[in-house]
Structure 1
Amino acid sequence: MGIIFGKKKKPSRVTEQDKAVLQLKQQRDKIKMYQKRIELSLTKDRELAKKLLNSGQKDRAKLLLRKKRYQEQLLVKTDCQLDNLEKLTHDIEFAIVELQVVEGLKVGNDALKKVNDALDIADIESILEETREGVEKQNEINDLLTGQLTEEDEEAVEAELAAIISEEMPEVPSVEPIPQMDKDIIPEEKNKDKKVKEKEKEPVALMA
């Protein structure tokens, strides 16, 4: 005889609030369908009352209009019930959203608390102290190496550093300088000015 293992049912994600909202919406839909039936009945009763009046059956027409009036009052009452159902549905849905927000805040606060607990002040101070000691030790090594090198060694270091930088930098193509021209003065005007200056230098003849 074999042994039958039953599968465990997964916990349902549908909450009691979800069920309540679903029931309210179902009741709302039923009321809307009831309203449509009443509206159709009102239209038919009015048409039937006209026919009864035309056929001389005034009493039956009046009775039918009374029924119509009663159904109109029912229709008004169902509108009020619909408003109440809609309001209650929105209130429950909003309460669910608020509950989800509160749960999210709770999870966030718990996570933040765990992070703060993991960040021990003593550990942080120890890490900062080790970092400071490491920097100081590196500075001591730099000072020691610098003191052992001559000026010539320093120049060699600077030259090698400049060579490495130039290797890393992209080469920029050299551009030959464009000869500048005096744009304000035309060559002919330059020659003209030169001749005027030479005439000014010639000796002026004295009158006898």
Structure 2
Amino acid sequence: MGGLFAKKSRVTEQDKAVLQLKQQRDQLKKYQRKIENNLSRERGVAKQLLKDGKKEKAKLLLKKKRYQEQVLTKTDNQLESLERLVQEIEFAQIEVQVVEGLKNGNDCLKKMHQMMSLDDVERIMQDTQDGIEYQREIDELLAGSLTDDDEAAILEELSQLTGVEETESQLDQLPDVPTDQLPEIEKEKKRRKEQDEDERVMVPAS
């Protein structure tokens, strides 16, 4: 099951080229070590031949040693070229990844720009600026930046509002107008009525 969900790595041609170059580099290094070992051994053999009086053989062996030293120098140059080529390919791969990342980033920016037009941005910026200006005006008012005329007008309006409120409050406190007739008036009317009746009784008929 694990193999089904394993992430497959994609090997590019550049990866294959780098791998081959590194393999060649390792082979050259192995060849260099072999030559160095031969040079060390042949030098010792040449010394022994000279001791044995075999000068011509020693000279021939030294010529071979000299040739191998030249081959070793060429191998060093080839290794340097291989190392430089590997580094250039690896750096080119990094550049490709960077370019691909930039491309993806640009595509993302284009999609975001399509979601919001330039007019929308300008409108939002204008609304924001208007809100900032309005808040600044409020802050200036609260900070006491009013002129003397402004202060006088505010006090006048406050006084008017206060007078209206006091008048309404006083009207609310007044008692209601009574609708019933007063008792004394009723008594007076009744007394006059009785008096009129008595006077009519006392007057004789003609």
Counterpart residue identity of residue 67, structure 2: Y
Give me the identity figure in percent. Answer: 55
- Counterpart pick for 1:79 among 76, 85, 89: 76
1:37-76 mapped onto 2 (5 Å cutoff) = 37-76=34-73
Change (3 A) 1:75 1:152: farther
Distance in 2 (alpha carbons) for counterparts of 1:129 and 1:50: 95
Q: Does 1:99 align with 2:77?
A: no
1:88 to 2:78 alignment: no
**Secondary structure, in 3 states, of the residue corresponding to 1:41?**
helix
> Displaced runs of 4+ in structure 1, greater than 6 A?
128-133
Deviation at 1:153, TM superposition (A): 8.3
Taking structure 1 as the reference length, the TM-score comes to 0.56
Q: Which structure has greater helix proportion? A: 2
Partner residue, 1:12: 9
2-side partners of 1:31 and 1:152: how far apart?
105
Structure 1 vs Structure 2 CA RMSD: 3.6
Q: Report 1:42-191 matches (<5 A).
A: 42-124=39-121, 150=158
Q: Are residues 95 and 128 of structure 1, via their aligned partners in 2, closer, same or farther at CA, if it must alter by over 3 Å?
A: closer
Return the alpha-carbon distance in structure 2 between the equivalents of residues 126 and 26 of structure 1.
63
Displacement of 1:109 in angstroms is 0.8
Task: Report the alpha carbon displacement of residue 116 of structure 1 after superposing the two structures with TM.
Answer: 1.0
Amino acid at match of 1:80: N
The structural deviation recorded for 1:96 is 0.9
Distance 2:68 2:79 in 1: 16
Q: In the aligned structure 1, how far is the partner of 2:25 from the partner of 2:126?
A: 69
Unaligned runs of 5+ in 2: 138-153, 163-206
Is the counterpart of residue 33 in structure 1 residue 26 in structure 2? no
